[in-house]
Amino acid sequence: METEQAKLEQARARLEAVEAMIAELNRQRCLADDVSRRVRSNAGAVSMPDVAAHAQFATYLQRMERALGSRREQALVEMEQQRRVLLEARTRYEMLDRFRAASRTTWQVEFAREQETMAGELFLAKWNRARRSAAGHPLWE
């Protein structure tokens, strides 16, 4: 169960890493858009290489967004699968724990019964020995 819990934590960490990359991608997009707006608002001349570079960067961001979206979905699926595995492991652990407790209780009852039987047999043996001694009979051991 602990192993499966650790695997779930790893899956969660992978998801968080992908979400951090998505956040960084969005931050980069905002920065690029801000730069583009500032250049246009200054009414300055925009060169064709700048426009082409901005378009290429926008295309790159879209491609990365799709890739990270796919990785995020995969991480969510893996995390959900691991969550199910953990729940299964937890159920098995609890079932084994209940079985162990029931077995221990059964063992304790059987042990107490055996102790009681032995105590009764010892009492009868002493009682018979005492009775024979009192009657003058030799002890047989």
Tens-digit pLDDT profile for the chain (141 aa)? Answer: 889 999 999 999 999 999 999 999 999 989 888 877 777 777 666 677 777 888 898 899 999 999 999 999 999 999 999 999 999 999 999 999 999 999 999 999 999 999 999 999 999 999 888 888 877 655 544
Angle at 93 between CA 87 and CA 95, to 5 degrees: 105
pTM of the model: 0.62
- Whether residue 52 contacts residue 92, with contact meaning beta carbons closer than 8 Å, is answered with no
Residue with tokens 């010892």: 122
- Residues near 1 by Cβ (< 8 Å), separated by ≥ 6? 86, 89, 90, 92, 93
Residues comprising the chain, all counted: 141
